[in-house]
Chains A and B, each alone.
Chain A
């Protein structure tokens, strides 16, 4: 079974600064997908960024980028130019690429990191 670990229960950053959230995972598979989700106080999960394991290039989405180290099974999220609206719980998640059709969306989540942004 796959596991996802986020070792930072809480992080804080000053507005306009950069912060990195850590995530490690354990799997015996070679083909999979990794995600970062944001859960603001409204509790609705929002997809931030997605990485395919077979791609060496790190994914980027505007101010959000990842550092994907496949050999180390590490998948960190960097938020640049942090904004007050970035304050939320952030979850790292794993999905197997070998799942059958009924499990395409089945995710394994980490424990989450609460990000506080100070003005």
Chain B
């Protein structure tokens, strides 16, 4: 059974048109993360939520926002997508309680194309 679910698998949007990517989890984990992975590059953390507390990375553009309405769901909003935002967006979760053995569970990602 899928534990971290990302929909849709592929998303196409137009330049400047707002788009929302979704992530849900059945693990009841405290922490949810959004990573951006451009082609042939390392995944880069955009932000994460610990429960309702939002933690933004210093170099994440303002164009990227996130919402976590409840434990199970987390959304990534791109307010005005540019061509440079085309990437795979990976959602991950972790318990947030085990300092020494924290394990991340990843979804299958959403591949975003910007036309």
Contacts and interface: CB of A to CB of B under 8 A. Distances in A.
Interface of A: 4, 9, 33, 42-47, 52, 91, 95, 97, 101-107, 109-112
Contacts, number: 72
Interface in B47-106: 48, 50, 53, 55, 88, 90, 92, 94-100, 102-104, 106
Contacts of B90: 43, 45
B43 interface: yes
Contact of A45 (B45, B98, B106, B111): B106
A3 to B, nearest CB: 10
Interface of B: 31, 33, 40-45, 48, 50, 53, 55, 88, 90, 92, 94-100, 102-104, 106-109, 111
A42 B108 contact: yes
Contacts of B98: 104
Given A43-B109, A104-B98, 20 more contacts: A42-B108, A43-B88, A43-B108, A47-B104, A52-B100, A95-B102, A97-B99, A97-B100, A101-B96, A101-B99, A102-B55, A103-B48, A104-B94, A104-B97, A105-B94, A106-B48, A107-B43, A109-B42, A112-B40, A112-B41
B92 A105 contact: yes
A95 to B, nearest CB: 8
13 contacts: A9-B40, A45-B90, A47-B103, A47-B104, A95-B102, A104-B31, A104-B97, A104-B98, A104-B102, A105-B31, A106-B33, A107-B43, A110-B42
Say whether chain A's binding surface is mostly helix, strand, loop, or mixed: loop
A14 B113 CA distance: 35
A46 B3 CA distance: 13
Contacts of A95: 102
A107 B45 contact: yes
Nearest to A44: B108
A64 B42 CA distance: 22
Contacts of B43: 45, 91, 107, 109
B55 A103 contact: yes
Contacts of B48: 102-103, 105-106
